[in-house]
Structures are given as C-alpha cells and as structure tokens.
Amino acid sequence: MRIVIAKDYEDLSRKAAHVIAGQLIMRPDTVLGLATGATPLRCYELLTHMAEEKLVSFRQCKIFNLDEYYSLSPENPQSYGYFMKQHLFSRVDILPENTFIPNGLAENIAQECQAYEDLIRRAGGIDLQLLGIGRNGHIGFNEPDVSFEAFTHLVALDQDTIQANSKFFNTREEVPKTAISMGIKTIMQARGILLLASGAEKAETVYQMVYGKISPDVPASVLQIHPNATVLVDEAAGQRLQEMQNKVL
Ligand code: PGA
C-alpha cells in the first residue's frame, strides 16, 4: 500500500485528478472504475476543466461505477447514475455507451450482477479503480462483515451508511436501504486502486485500514494485500497515520 498525504481537500483533489488524467494520457482506451460520494466531487470538477482545455480526453475510455441504489432509476436525482451524469459524464467527451452503472431497477438482480461482471471482464478488466471510504470502513457499498469473496451483489446498507448518506436526501427515511455494489473480489481484481479520504472524521478508519488487522470488520483493510493500491488522504484524514510514522521514526 502506498500512502500519499496531501495538504488539504483541494490538494488531494488536484493530485487525484492528475493521476486519472495521467492514466488517460498514457492509455486513452483505459478502463476506469469510478466512485460517487462527496469526496471525488472536486476531482471530477478538475477533470472536466482539463477536458475543456483538451488536456485529456475520455473519448476512448470506458467507465464502470462501483454501485447504485436499488430501486432508483437513473433519472432520479438521488441516483448515482444521475450523479455521474451531472458531475462528469455530461461535461466530458465520454461516449454514453462507454459508461456503466448497475441497473437499480433490475428485476432479476442476480442476472444484473452477473451481467455487470461480464461487462467488466469483456472490457478487459479495470485498470484504475477510484474509491472513497465510509466511516465504517466500507468501499463501494461493501459494509462491515462483507465476504472478501463476493463479486457484484445486492447489499443491505449499514445504519451508519444510511446516516452518512442522508446528507444527499431530504430525510433519512428517503435513503434506500439496499444497493447493487461491486464486491470486494471485483474491486481487488482492478489492476490499480486509488482510494481517497478527506477530513478528520475519516482519520480513525483510515488508520484501521492501513495498520489494522485485515478483517471483514473493516472492508477496506483488504487493500493491504492489493499489489498496487495507493491511499491518498489529506492531512486531516491522515493525522493518525502521521502519528504512527512519527513513532516509528
Ligand atoms: P463520502 O463517501 O465521499 O461522501 O465521504 C465515501 C463512501 O461512503 O465511500
């Protein structure tokens, strides 16, 4: 695991945008895995600026998103399909047919999950997967106690996640209780991983992910055994890592 500590949210976003831009420049037909949530927002905004300035192009790449709320249509402003369109897809030159998000309206969930895995495989696998991390240690919607063997599947959201995500809804009751998410196995098969965390409220979770026991209790801890994972945090989210490094030195 590589640890990079950025100064603040802006610096973290700039660094993340440059990593993704670099990937697109070096390999225009790359397959990206992207995430939703508050953390990558500024990174996406910076990428749209780079695309406007023709510094990067998404024209040949494919993008697979981590997850989607179950029962929300992509037209619903709370859905992740809508989020991605609003913040990235409609603002860069990506072809709509090259953007993939699990279908939250699928009637046959098992079939939808298998089809999503097949699409990723047929695209050649994910080159670079961007991740956020929940305060409970989730990546995608892989909540504590997840199976490390799971591929894309239907998950029940943790109370902590429902609370955290209620910031995007009018009331807590409106937050869907289930979602379709790439599994830990899907994420671990990505050739590269870039996890972003910002803010002091993530500091303890980040510490457990990096230095804690590898355990389904902290799903992100599995990244310790990924051969090419980078954890990019700002100083606030990395404060416990820095305490640890100071102790070792
Ligand atoms: P956040 O969510 O970026 O809104 O903090 C991260 C996550 O839950 O994975």
For the CA of 133, the nearest atom of ligand 1 = 9
Percentage of the chain exceeding pLDDT 70:
99
Query: 181 CB under 6 A from ligand 1?
Result: no
- The mean pLDDT of 170-195, rounded to a whole number, is 96
pTM exceeds 0.85: yes
The confidence band for 249, taking pLDDT boundaries of 50, 70 and 90, is: low
Give the integer Cα–Cα distance in Å for 189 and 192: 9
Which residues carry out catalysis? 67, 136, 138, 143
Average pLDDT over the chain reads: 96
The confidence band for 245, taking pLDDT boundaries of 50, 70 and 90, is: confident
Give the integer Cα–Cα distance in Å for 187 and 149: 11
pLDDT per position as a tens digit, 118-129: 999 999 999 999
pLDDT per position as a tens digit, 129-160: 999 999 999 999 999 999 999 999 999 999 99
Burial of 233 (0-12, 13-18, 19+ CB in 10 A): buried
- 131 alpha carbon – ligand 1 mean position (Å): 9
> Which positions ≥6 away from 211 have C-beta within 8 Å?
241, 244
For the CA of 139, the nearest atom of ligand 1 = 9
pLDDT for position 242? 85
